[in-house]
Structure 1
Amino acid sequence: MADDGGEAVYYVISDLHIGGDEQLGEVEFLEELLGFLRRLERTEERVELVINGDAFGLWEFTDVDGIEKFDVLVETYPELFEQLRATGESIRITLLPGNHDHELAAYDAYVDRLAEYNVDLVPEQSIERAVGDRTVHFEHGHQQDPNNRIEDWGNPYATPLGYYYNTLVTTRAGQLSDRGKFNWLKDVQAVTPTERMPVWLGSKYFYREMSPLLRYALVPFLLLFNISAILAVVAGLDLIGVWSMPVDRTTTFLGQFGAAGTAAWFLLSVNVVVAGLLMLVGIPLYLLRRDIRKTIDRFGIFETGLTVDAEKPYVEAAETVFEERPETAVFCYGHTHRPRTRKVDGRLLVNTGTWLKRLHRRDGIIGILPPVFYPSYQLCAVRIEAADGGGVAAEYEAIEKPSPMVEELTLTERLFTVGREPNVALPDRTVVGGDAGTEPTE
């Protein structure tokens, strides 16, 4: 173990989601994780690594049950478990269950098996750690999510709504992913919120699975749809004799270019006709859909959706913890996969993000092309330690990993997202309490 003297320093990671059926078993960040663990193995500080839930994707295993899932993990990732053993000889490693690996709290055998690799499994919903005269509250965060809350903690048969989504959708995607022209379906876990799933599937079909000939034939029409819709209205006004000037001038202008002008006129006419037909059908369908949605909302049929506010439940949970235990300076959680900080009542709310790939939706600027889901990594560990003046500091340490953009986006997708790449910068270092107040520091 490292030197026991001095203040403890906590490194926090979460949402690794290691393991699962077939393609879900691929860990794209394995080398980066091993490198991070090797760095902690060599530290001279008094460090504790807190793995704050969803270290493993136990929900994503459908062919094995109970403690057998751990056997599969060890067999599949021997290098990882040996590195955990080596790092655990130098520092303390504490593991909390999340929703995807809630079974860690359901079988006592997991405690003993993980202890063999120097990992201290705490099968509780939360833990606290001291930083000076303040404390840090750690929990995965799924207990604040009604779709993934485990009402009967420790029950191996607990099946919240999120469990069914994973067994019916996520694991099936892992089993089918390698059948595509490109192995993209395994990224289903990176699609958040879950309501974006149909849009993501449509996007990947268009850019990855659709016949290239068909896709490139559709692109001009989809790009010109907005213009064609306007021209369809203008053409309608010409047909009924209200306003003929735009059509007459367009005909005269294109007529100057001979055969090329005729071809352009034909292409434009086809676009206008299709756009006009879609408008005739689409407008009443839109009005009908809006009226049905209002009726559904009025009856409250879908009062509980799959989308959970990324901040509100955790702000409320943190406020409760801060009120009941005033010495708590930091409420640290994961689950939502969004690395961010927020000040609450003079204390700090910290989300540790995810090591999975993240997908950022980028809608087309013009036309009705499907949105592009831009991939990125935001691998990070949060370092929490005592700060000067009696405060507590939280700082994100980035673990570098090359962007998957070139390999995973088609040329068409890259062209449509030029200049619209997501900002993957991590939050600044923040100090709370003591003399520093709650201001970010460089």
Structure 2
Amino acid sequence: MAEDTDDRVYYVISDLHIGGDEQLEEIEFRGELLDFLGRLERTDENTELIINGDAFGLWEFTTVEGIEKFEVLEETYPELFDQLRATGENVDITLLPGNHDHELAAYDEYVDRFAEYNVDLVPEQSISRRVGEQVIHFEHGHQRDQNNRIEDWGNPHATPLGYYYNTLITSRAGQLSNRGRYNWLKDVQAVTPTERMPVWLFSKYFYREMNPVLRYSLVPFLLLFNISAILAILAGLDLTGIWSMPVERTTAFLGQFGRAGTAVWFLLAVNVSVAGLLLLIAVPLHLIRRDLRKTIDRFGIFETDLTVDPEAPYEEAAQEVFDERPETTIFCYGHTHRPTLREIDGGIMVNTGTWLKRLHRRDGIIGLLPPVFYPSYQLAAARISPASDGVAVELEQFTKPSPATEELTWTERFFTVGREPELDLPDRYVVDDEKAKQPKQPAQN
């Protein structure tokens, strides 16, 4: 049921993913979160804070079970829980389970333990709230994701595909992260979509873990690969006697520079030889890859993908909610870690993003260098409030400096100059009361 409130303001955050094994226990946004909660502790507005799923990374705890995880959270983050208690004395705090912390819906003890900190844990899949003539629908969003859907809601033994990914890969990364040259492996939980993880691992190996001598010896070849591929073709034309002019002129030009020209010629010769070999094997490898993919598709081995579409299932879900409950005009969710505010027929979709670090893939400016995964923070809270002509929705951003300077090598920064991600949040949007009253278009098949 939607609660009747006339002037209440709702702040919504999600996907904090607090907690986990070893290195995963670090909260990189601790200061910003405490400041936000402290601000709500002092506000004069009639406010409710809704934490819309995945507040905690309970899947990433592999050494304790059940309610013991709450005790670990209490011991690890006393400052956070004290602030929740203080904030909850001034504003209502409502906590919904997500997939990573679905266990909150599986043990009744969690409700009582959170109540001690003035947090109202609602172990349901969704809730709603009324603002004037309109209603907001809140859900985390994982039930729209076939790889993280909890079929038996409230079952403590529910283990969708995403559970195994996080317990076997993410938690293990937290245990091993500090063994690297830089503590980077724990950021695996920020890699989205998950299909990019192999590329991300190779990228971090190349830029962080590879022996520096080996890396810098490879850089000239990788940078010159595009040129070398062209030269390899020209060299082939020269050897077959079809066209010798380019090779003859290059030889004559470099010969003017003595030993320096000879060194450049030697480097080009090595690059051309390797590039030529790669070009020769590229054709059969491409054919083999195509045939292998056809075989995999035929057997349906990869029929279940770990990647969730960030748009389509949620637009369909929002449309379904709007059609079934016409007074509902705002569909608020999380899960995909992408802050968005988008209008569809009958209302708007609001995604509150994540407070985790985000990694943006950026290809190098030239050559075959591995892509760079540019780190950033886009900490946001949705603010939903009454307006004179309807309901206002905006994403409020909390500034946190980019970690790129500390986390990217100079090589990564150099080859992505001018390709830094632009992190703009959508503009404020007002859902007009009159528009909300209009009959909604029937769903298209």
TM-score by length of 1: 0.96
Counterpart Cα distance in 2 of 1:296 and 1:76: 45
Return 107-116 or 237-246, whichever deviates more. 237-246
* Contact 2:133–2:433, Cα closer than 8 Å, also in 1: no
How far residue 333 of structure 1 moved from its aligned partner, in angstroms, is: 0.2
Question: Are positions 1:172 and 2:161 aligned together?
Answer: no
**Counterpart for residue 257 of structure 1:** 257
Counterpart Cα distance in 1 of 2:433 and 2:134: 10
Counterpart Cα distance in 1 of 2:340 and 2:217: 42
**Counterpart for residue 107 of structure 1:** 107
How far residue 188 of structure 1 moved from its aligned partner, in angstroms, is: 0.6
* Contact 2:5–2:132, Cα closer than 8 Å, also in 1: no
Deviations 1:38-94 (A, max 9, x none): 000000000000000000000000000000000000000000000000000000000
* Contact 2:136–2:328, Cα closer than 8 Å, also in 1: yes
Write the mapping of 1:391-402 to structure 2, written as runs, cut at 5 A.
Answer: 391-402=390-401
DSSP-derived class of the 1:419 partner: coil
How far residue 365 of structure 1 moved from its aligned partner, in angstroms, is: 2.5
**Counterpart for residue 210 of structure 2:** 210
Counterpart Cα distance in 1 of 2:346 and 2:248: 67
Counterpart Cα distance in 1 of 2:267 and 2:337: 46
* Contact 2:13–2:382, Cα closer than 8 Å, also in 1: yes
Counterpart Cα distance in 1 of 2:180 and 2:329: 48
**Counterpart for residue 381 of structure 2:** 381
**Counterpart for residue 83 of structure 2:** 83
How far residue 298 of structure 1 moved from its aligned partner, in angstroms, is: 4.2
Distance 1:107 1:382, change over 3 A: same
* Letter matched to residue 418 of structure 2: G
Deviations 1:250-278 (A, max 9, x none): 00110111111111000000000011111
Counterpart Cα distance in 2 of 1:365 and 1:290: 28
Distance 1:287 1:5, change over 3 A: closer
**Counterpart for residue 55 of structure 1:** 55
DSSP-derived class of the 1:81 partner: helix
**Counterpart for residue 65 of structure 2:** 65
Question: Are positions 1:407 and 2:406 aligned together?
Answer: yes
* Letter matched to residue 338 of structure 2: R
**Counterpart for residue 440 of structure 1:** none
**Counterpart for residue 424 of structure 1:** 423
Write the mapping of 1:286-325 to structure 2, written as runs, cut at 5 A.
Answer: 286-325=286-325
Distance 1:96 1:257, change over 3 A: same
Counterpart Cα distance in 2 of 1:365 and 1:31: 36
* Contact 1:347–1:433, Cα closer than 8 Å, also in 2: no
* Contact 2:322–2:346, Cα closer than 8 Å, also in 1: no
**Counterpart for residue 351 of structure 1:** 351
Write the mapping of 1:86-235 to structure 2, written as runs, cut at 5 A.
Answer: 86-235=86-235
DSSP-derived class of the 1:90 partner: coil
Counterpart Cα distance in 1 of 2:263 and 2:197: 39
* Contact 1:22–1:175, Cα closer than 8 Å, also in 2: yes
* Contact 2:13–2:52, Cα closer than 8 Å, also in 1: yes
How far residue 13 of structure 1 moved from its aligned partner, in angstroms, is: 0.1
How far residue 5 of structure 1 moved from its aligned partner, in angstroms, is: 8.5
How far residue 6 of structure 1 moved from its aligned partner, in angstroms, is: 5.0
DSSP-derived class of the 1:192 partner: coil
* Letter matched to residue 373 of structure 2: F
Deviations 1:326-382 (A, max 9, x none): 000100000000001111113000000000000000012221100000000000111
Deviations 1:7-32 (A, max 9, x none): 11000000000000000000000010
**Counterpart for residue 284 of structure 2:** 284
Return 286-295 or 179-188, whichever deviates more. 286-295
Deviations 1:118-140 (A, max 9, x none): 00000000000001011000000
DSSP-derived class of the 1:49 partner: strand
DSSP-derived class of the 1:62 partner: coil
TM-score by length of 2: 0.96
DSSP-derived class of the 1:94 partner: strand
How far residue 436 of structure 1 moved from its aligned partner, in angstroms, is: 7.5
How far residue 434 of structure 1 moved from its aligned partner, in angstroms, is: 2.3
Counterpart Cα distance in 2 of 1:368 and 1:286: 17
* Contact 2:88–2:117, Cα closer than 8 Å, also in 1: yes
* Letter matched to residue 10 of structure 1: Y
DSSP-derived class of the 2:249 partner: helix
* Contact 1:329–1:433, Cα closer than 8 Å, also in 2: no
* Contact 1:329–1:348, Cα closer than 8 Å, also in 2: yes
* Letter matched to residue 421 of structure 1: E
Counterpart Cα distance in 1 of 2:166 and 2:346: 37
* Contact 1:6–1:46, Cα closer than 8 Å, also in 2: no
- 5+ residue gaps, structure 2: 437-445
Write the mapping of 1:336-347 to structure 2, written as runs, cut at 5 A.
Answer: 336-347=336-347
* Contact 1:5–1:46, Cα closer than 8 Å, also in 2: no
**Counterpart for residue 26 of structure 1:** 26
How far residue 283 of structure 1 moved from its aligned partner, in angstroms, is: 2.1
* Letter matched to residue 423 of structure 2: V
- 5+ residue gaps, structure 1: 438-442
Counterpart Cα distance in 1 of 2:372 and 2:236: 33
Distance 1:121 1:103, change over 3 A: same
* Letter matched to residue 40 of structure 1: L
